[in-house]
Amino acid sequence: MANPTAEPLSPVSRTALSVAMVRAFESSRPAPLFNDPYAAVFVAAAGLSMPAGGPPTGGFAQRLVAHGILRTRFYDDRLLAAGVSQVVLLAAGLDARAYRLPWPPGTRLFEVDLAPVLDFKQGVLDGLSAVPACDRTALRADLVDPDWPDRLVAAGFDPAQPTAWLAEGLLVYLEPAEAAGLLDAVGALSAPGSRLLLEQGRDVSTTPREPGLTEMTDLWRGGLGPGTADWLDAHGWTTEFTALEELAAACGRPLPHDPTGKPAGFLEARRTEGPTP
């Protein structure tokens, strides 16, 4: 059980619990696209209960749940296929990939997030006597602070080695300048051959305001929006887009209608230039 006297999670950090609920639901299915045995434990440790009727069955909320499930599977597969021994999870939240994925020997994984999030997670994991499947380092840092790259290097990160970066569900919570600054910092730390996994941005002004969702969607700032791939291509990366519909079809999962009518999907960017000063 997590320490009840620990610093409370911020509104943005609390969205990690919603993501954990989605992962717990999928893991309980007869034929899940992934198995995260820690997700339900995180939810319970926060004093929350899984919805009695399961996930939403209509509207934009159902679309978000499907997106979260498919996103998890996509990133699981791409991280393991990256062929690198250094992995960084940006705004890691309650991500348990260090524990649940079959990492190759010699993998070193860094989780970067705010102290309350990582302290809560560590308390739960310690209570389970969980053992990571790779060399795991948790770095308590704010990604909008300019010193986080130096602190990452001080924690043992090697900028000369190709890295697989994951920014799962992150950029949408940042202002455009913050998102560009974060990606600039990632680029400066990325040797040729590095990968960056993230969502293709969208215009958040079209997001439906559904009951039960506004606590999360009102926090969205849009990041770099629909221009995310173009920005990366202009800053030393080569991007490849996988549409959500394409992934859903490959996984044999029906995809609810998107009331916004906007294309959604995931980007895998490969670093084609070395780190810049």
- Domain contains 52: no
Please state the rounded mean pLDDT for residues 40-49.
95
Q: Which two tokens stand for residue 241?
A: 């887009």
Residue 181 is which amino acid?
Answer: G
- Domain contains 9: no
Name the band, by pLDDT with cuts 50, 70 and 90, for residue 207.
Answer: confident
Determine how β-strand 163-167 pairs with β-strand 195-199: parallel
- Domain contains 234: yes
Partner residues linked to 239 by β-bridges: 269
- Selection from 20, 15, 23 nearest residue 42 by Cα: 20
pLDDT digits (tens, 9 = 90+) for 216-232: 888 899 999 999 999 99
Please state the rounded mean pLDDT for residues 101-114.
98
In the prediction, which pLDDT does 4 show? 42
Please state the rounded mean pLDDT for residues 200-218.
83
Length of the chain: 277
- Domain contains 250: yes
The dihedral over CA atoms of 202, 248, 101, 2, expressed in degrees to the nearest 10, equals 60
- Domain contains 277: no
Please state the rounded mean pLDDT for residues 120-143.
97
- Domain contains 173: yes
Sign of CA dihedral 138, 144, 149, 151: negative
Please state the rounded mean pLDDT for residues 177-192.
98
In the prediction, which pLDDT does 275 show? 64
Name the band, by pLDDT with cuts 50, 70 and 90, for residue 5.
Answer: very low
Whether the per-residue pLDDT at 62 is higher than 50: the answer is yes
- Selection from 130, 36, 139 nearest residue 87 by Cα: 139
Name the band, by pLDDT with cuts 50, 70 and 90, for residue 6.
Answer: low
Split into its structural domains, the chain has a count of 1
Please state the rounded mean pLDDT for residues 26-34.
96
Average pLDDT of the chain? Answer: 92
Whether the per-residue pLDDT at 2 is higher than 50: the answer is no
**Distances in Å between the alpha carbon of 52 and those of 48, 56, 136?**
12, 11, 35
For the entire predicted model, the pTM comes to 0.94
Cα 120 to the chain's mean position, in Å?
A: 17
Whether the per-residue pLDDT at 122 is higher than 60: the answer is yes
Is pLDDT larger for residue 105 or for residue 50?
105
Whether the per-residue pLDDT at 277 is higher than 60: the answer is no
In the prediction, which pLDDT does 141 show? 97
- Domain contains 265: yes
- CATH number for position 130: 3.40.50.150
Range of the domain at 223: 59-271
Block residue for tokens 């506004």: 214
Q: Which two tokens stand for residue 248?
A: 């859903």
**CA distance linking residue 148 with residue 155, whole number of Å:** 10
- Domain contains 40: no
- Please enumerate in sequence order all residues whose Cβ is within 8 A of that of 117, keeping only pairs 6 or more positions apart, or say none: 9, 13, 16, 92, 93, 94
